[in-house]
Amino acid sequence: MRGRWQNLYLDLPLTSWEAALGGHVVMPTLGGKVDLRILKNARSGQRMRLKGKALSGAPADDINATLKVVNPKVTTERAPAVFEQMAEKMPFDPHAHLGGTGR
């Protein structure tokens, strides 16, 4: 966490499936834990503002969270097959706008 004035700024890591499917992430704050709702198809760089959840004061300040999708390392024998299935069933080329391909 880093602070500017009294507001706090942080990067909130998400798994790729949390970002794709949405769900809830419990995030610790200075005032206690907050259940944060992640919408489907969340993307790295998206920002969420938790109004009044930073340092206590009158009025309370905000937490500004930037979503960061973090991919797992391939550490099991089965993991490469799962990624191959995803590549087959969910064609997606983030390089298309560059005029190239990922494969």
Q: pTM for the whole thing?
A: 0.76
pLDDT of residue 69 exceeding 60, the answer is: yes
Domains of the chain by residue range = 2-93
pLDDT, tens digit, 9 for 90 and up, residues 18-46: 999 999 999 888 778 889 999 999 999 99
Q: How many CB atoms lie within 10 A of CB 55?
A: 16
Overall average pLDDT of the 45-55 stretch: 86
Q: Does domain 2-93 have CATH number 2.60.260.20?
A: yes
Residue 73 CA to residue 82 CA, distance in Å, equals: 12
Q: Look-up: residue for tokens 């920002």?
A: 47
Whether the CB-CB separation of 69 and 41 falls below 8 Å is answered with no
Taking only Cα atoms into account, the Rg of the chain, rounded to an integer number of angstroms, comes to 18
Distance of alpha carbon 19 from alpha carbon 36, whole angstroms: 13
